[in-house]
Structure 1
């Protein structure tokens, strides 16, 4: 069946759409494109992030298309709409093929990311997809976005998950000062056995197997100490 035939067969309940963009000509053009389609009704238009939140709250549209380059905090607006109007699906419609912005928008609660300049079928496809509960990304942009997700996942895997306690920071300072377990124990008023226990727990928390790896992991956590004088591993 052709696109024209598909668009001529309305659902029993038309999908309400709101459009938000700060370019009046573009805004009018998009709205008119959907106004001629019996599957949709126009819930309203706005031209700013604050206007988008107000329109979502007052009109409760099924779908809202939203530009990223507008007055106001657009990402905050997306989060607000997702929290206050969860039935409204947000479709980002933007000229910016920027992976970080796309990730921020999707994290905030957007359901689709469509690039301006693509055929109008992309926007129609995005709306139909999110209406059915799916996610949509412009085909030309999806490989870049997948790469962004992979890079972020890799950074998360490499980032130590744990924050260090005050006592663990004291042990680290001893390591950075090239002290042995015995010297660290004396400085902290602990037994050497207790220091070894803390050191084992620290390695487990940071998912490492040596004192050097402890230091390197701590540096990724933002430890201010210098590692030049690191003491060697102790096996006793």
Structure 2
């Protein structure tokens, strides 16, 4: 299996060195470049096009603008924000810029490894401690389900929604429901279309705003 190519950017030398050591010890990852500013992130992404780019949010330059610029250019790299800030507004800003995940510094090494693998697979990954804050932040936000008849979900969709609220990845959902991971992705696509949202995080936010009677009761 081809290793996941990684680029890392942090303006704290010790943190950057620690990240390099963490991934270099594992055969499934290849560190292709490191940087310490938003300008270097831009240059590295365009030059090496890594699978995943782990970026700090507080570096010289504007990393949010850089990520958005690269996404607009069609850059295939997926960005994972790695920050000491656990405020929901920072995570939202990073995700809106085009980041595929947000991991809070101080988390376990395993969570960071899992996050890289998840975003490389095309999933959205949010640190557990931050996920609850994001849901609460959006309970009173302006995100609305498209106007029209009440949204109705199938039993399977209801099961998937319930597992999303527990922070499960597509792989974990597939294993628990004994279905293929591709089937889970198909259900996620259908949910995004029903809710008129763009990603799994917005599916989670939107379903939190729906009346409970719109969700099918789970079978025991």
TM-score range, shorter chain: 0.5 to 0.7
Does 2:70 align with 1:81?
Answer: yes
**Shift of residue 101 of structure 1?**
1.2
Residue 15 of structure 1, aligned match among 4, 15, 19: 4
- The runs of at least 4 aligned residues of structure 1 exceeding 6 Å deviation read none
Does 2:117 align with 1:124?
Answer: no
Match for residue 68 of structure 1?
Answer: 57
Does the aligned pair in 2 maintain the 1:64–1:91 contact within 8 Å?
yes
Superposition CA RMSD, Å? 1.8
CA gap 1:44/1:142 in 2 versus in 1, 3 angstroms: same
Q: Distance in 2 between matches of 1:75 and 1:69?
A: 10
- For these two proteins, the number of residue pairs brought into alignment is 146
Q: RCO (CA 8 Å, sep 6+): is it higher in 1 or 2?
A: 2
Does the aligned pair in 1 maintain the 2:49–2:75 contact within 8 Å?
no
Match for residue 201 of structure 2?
Answer: none
**Shift of residue 78 of structure 1?**
1.2
Q: Distance in 2 between matches of 1:132 and 1:123?
A: 14
CA gap 1:22/1:156 in 2 versus in 1, 3 angstroms: farther
Unaligned runs of 5+ in 1: 1-11, 158-236
With the length of structure 2 as denominator, give the TM-score of the two structures. Answer: 0.63
**Shift of residue 151 of structure 1?**
2.9
Bigger radius of gyration: 1
Q: Distance in 1 between matches of 2:74 and 2:145?
A: 30
Does the aligned pair in 1 maintain the 2:46–2:75 contact within 8 Å?
no
**Shift of residue 154 of structure 1?**
5.7
Match for residue 97 of structure 1?
Answer: 86
Residue 47 of structure 2, aligned match among 38, 48, 58: 58
CA gap 1:85/1:24 in 2 versus in 1, 3 angstroms: farther
Unaligned runs of 5+ in 2: 147-220
Does the aligned pair in 1 maintain the 2:56–2:81 contact within 8 Å?
yes
Residue 143 of structure 1, aligned match among 102, 120, 132: 132
Does the aligned pair in 2 maintain the 1:129–1:135 contact within 8 Å?
yes
